[in-house]
Amino acid sequence: MGFVAQAQIKPPDGIGRDVFTLAVGHMAPFNFELAGKTAYLINGSERFELTNITQRGNSIFLPVDVYNTVLPEANE
């Protein structure tokens, strides 16, 4: 008897760019910064703090409490 485990490597802290998939054929690019369990959505000089980010496999989930939703980041 055995099991298989997949390592979940935390993405490095720092600034990045990705896209959210909104609907069929619609993508919304965004800039962000990761800092531990906190992420910041970046829009020019504005920074919107998102706390308690989680990771499942190679996906990062960004809770946006003010909108009562979670944005799944697109996978590579």
Secondary structure class of 42 (helix, strand, coil): strand
Q: What pLDDT is recorded for position 76?
A: 46
Average pLDDT of every residue of the chain: 75
Position 12: which residue type?
P
Q: Would you say 41 and 30 are in contact if contact means Cβ atoms under 8 Å apart?
A: yes
pLDDT tens digits, the chain, 76 residues: what are they?
Answer: 444 444 557 778 899 888 877 777 788 888 889 888 888 988 889 898 988 888 887 777 877 776 656 666 555 4
